[in-house]
């Protein structure tokens, strides 16, 4: 074999390796960009009001905080399915204070307004839904009956 054939093969091999490295770097950067978009990108924001039915920490590998809000639509939603009147949501891991408030209002039965962000995709380490609560506002309490004499306070 001549030396020019060997040089040509090694030049082609080097070019192929360089192209492979560049392609791998482009794929990795594109994957990171897509994951960052799914993690930080917000599809919509909104408010839902109701009573928190449950709040729990779930997951075998990734522990996430999940909840359910009863919208109390009283027939406003045309459906025979009672579950259509509930709103399933997640709480991001860095918002433990929101989870604590949600746990308190779930025990007291207070009506709340949940401000949420809807994300583009479900990521298993973040939550089981695309709806993430970012703020909780407690609704003003209506008159509560006096437990001693079962009358409303004056």
List per-residue pLDDT tens for the chain, 154 residues long.
Answer: 555 566 677 787 888 899 999 999 999 999 999 988 888 888 888 999 999 999 998 888 888 899 999 887 655 555 555 555 889 999 987 788 999 999 999 998 889 999 999 988 887 788 889 899 999 998 876 544 455 555 545 4
For residue 100, the model assigns a pLDDT of 92
Residues in the chain: 154
For the chain, what are the domain ranges? 1-40, 43-138
Please check whether residue 124 is in contact with residue 62, taking contact to mean a CB–CB distance below 8 angstroms. Answer: yes
Q: What class, spelled out in words, does domain 43-138 have in CATH?
A: mainly beta
Give one DSSP letter per residue of 56-98, joined into a string: EEE-SSS-EEEEEEE---TT-S--S-GGGGEEEEEE-TT-HHH
For residue 21, the model assigns a pLDDT of 93
Question: Distance between CA atoms of 26 and 41, rounded to whole angstroms?
Answer: 21
For residue 154, the model assigns a pLDDT of 47
Question: Distance between CA atoms of 85 and 56, rounded to whole angstroms?
Answer: 19
């Amino acid at each position: 074999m001549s030396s020019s054939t060997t040089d040509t093969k090694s030049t082609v091999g080097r070019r192929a390796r360089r192209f492979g490295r560049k392609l791998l770097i482009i794929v990795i950067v594109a994957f990171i960009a897509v994951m960052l978009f799914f993690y930080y990108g917000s599809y919509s924001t909104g408010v839902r009001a109701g009573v928190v039915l449950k709040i729990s920490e779930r997951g075998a590998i990734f522990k996430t905080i999940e909840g359910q809000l009863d919208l109390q639509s009283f027939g406003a939603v045309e459906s025979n399915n009672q579950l259509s009147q509930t709103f399933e949501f997640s709480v991001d891991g860095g918002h433990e204070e929101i989870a604590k408030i949600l746990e308190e209002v779930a025990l007291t039965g207070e009506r709340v307004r949940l401000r949420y962000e809807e994300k583009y995709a479900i990521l298993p380490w973040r939550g089981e839904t695309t709806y993430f609560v970012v703020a909780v506002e407690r609704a003003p309490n209506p008159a509560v009956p006096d437990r001693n004499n079962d009358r409303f306070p004056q």
